[in-house]
Amino acid sequence: MGTTNPVRLIAALIFLAMLAIPVTASSAAVLGPNKGKVLTGVSDNGTLEGFQNFEASVGKHPAVLQTFHPWGNGLDLAYKRWQNAEVRPMLHISTADDETREELITPKEIAQGAGDPYLLGINEFFSLRDLPAYIRPLGEPNRCLNPYSAVYCDGTKKGGEHKTFWYRAAFRRIAVIVRGGKSSKRLDTKLSKLDLKPVNYGIQPRPESLPEAPVAIIWSALPAGSPRVKGNWPGNYWPGSNFVDWAGVDFYSNFPHWKDLNKFFKAGPWRKKPVALTEWGVAGSDNVKFTRQLFHWMEKRKRVRMFNYYRGFGGPEDVFNPINYPNAIKVLRNKLKNPRYVPYAYKHASK
């Protein structure tokens, strides 16, 4: 009987120990496509028929359906569409009322826990159903028309409850609570280390723990500020790598600022994150050149792993409605024939 090599024994023990280490929410939550693939997506206009019409026009089933909801909105109706459309959901959360555009809650109020019952509800919704999803809170913060932006459209800073400090703190709180996966005590400890208040359970009793929701958190911005003023660049709103799984950017044919898009893609804070075109689209004219350029841009950048076509919410009068741009949609249809653009997340992506 031979003697055991002590070096090999130590190496084997280290390997077994690594296998025993649980995968954390942050490392498992990207929900990205398989290597070499890109998830296709489209915006939700509130009807299954609208989704099906887009699918028919581009010749490929979108893997992701992005639903835009105001703060506090229920998910039951959206869930039915997600199920019927066989998509992976992306939930964009805004603080603007759908109809009046009135601000429902400020960044400071979110950061201080006033909106926690809603965030706990999101955690519960996706964890109970074991439903993989992308959560996109407060997108385009550097767009002045959004109530959570830190600037007015004339370029002056709002200050007070809308400072970028409060946006970043609000985003961190959203990520921590929606992800869950910790005991209530550890959750409060994590928030405390971020100088944030303990979880506010409202009228609900404090649970022993929050379940881990199978979600990926997307932080997204315009490639440059709107307006382009000091303090309104994407990096001013960056909440930190630990709270973001994907970096997202929105890009449209009526504002084709490619230098800004390239600068965003190369930016240091999120250079190791997968990139999603959280919104892109043709607007104002049937821009074939832009559509081709955008696909060329994506194909040269392997970190781009998802894109979502934005098609607006209105009829033919809507400037984003793809029905107005048949030539651009024809290009899109031809590009999507490439098998790298996948039609079903559950077949071609993690989880």
Identify the CA nearest to 243 among candidates 136, 117, 113. 136
Answer for the pair 247, 270: CB distance below 8 angstroms, yes or no.
Answer: yes
d(Cα 188, Cα 194) in Å, to the nearest integer? 10
Alpha carbon distance, N-terminus to C-terminus of the chain: 46
pLDDT (mean) for 314-343 = 97
Identify the CA nearest to 46 among candidates 227, 277, 266, 314. 314
The answer on pLDDT for 122 being more than 70 is yes
2 against 73, higher pLDDT: 73
Identify the CA nearest to 267 among candidates 234, 300, 244, 292. 234
Residue linked to tokens 């398989």: 34
Backbone phi and psi for residue 292, each to the nearest 5 degrees, phi listed first:
-65, -45
Tens digit of each residue's pLDDT (9 = 90 or more) over 17-47: 333 333 333 334 699 999 999 999 999 999 9
Tens digit of each residue's pLDDT (9 = 90 or more) over 197-211: 999 999 999 999 999
Answer for the pair 132, 88: CB distance below 8 angstroms, yes or no.
Answer: yes
The whole-model pTM stands at 0.91
341 against 11, higher pLDDT: 341
Strand stretches in the chain, DSSP E: 38-43, 64-70, 88-94, 133-137, 182-183, 209-210, 215-221, 246-252, 275-281, 304-309, 341-342
With b for 16 or more beta-carbon neighbours within 10 A and e for fewer, the 226-248 pattern comes to beebeebbbebbbbeeebbbbbb
Q: How many CB atoms lie within 10 A of CB 72?
A: 14
User: Does domain 29-348 fall into CATH 3.40.50.740?
Assistant: no
Task: Give the model's pLDDT for residue 320.
Answer: 97
d(Cα 211, Cα 201) in Å, to the nearest integer? 15
d(Cα 149, Cα 147) in Å, to the nearest integer? 5
Percent of the chain with pLDDT over 70: 92
Of 4-8, 71-75, 260-264, the range with the lowest mean pLDDT is 4-8
Residue linked to tokens 């703060």: 71
Q: What ranges in 137-234 are assigned the alpha helix state H?
A: 164-179, 184-193
pLDDT (mean) for 277-281 = 98
Q: Is 97 helix (H, G, I), strand (E, B) or coil?
A: coil
Residue linked to tokens 């932006």: 149
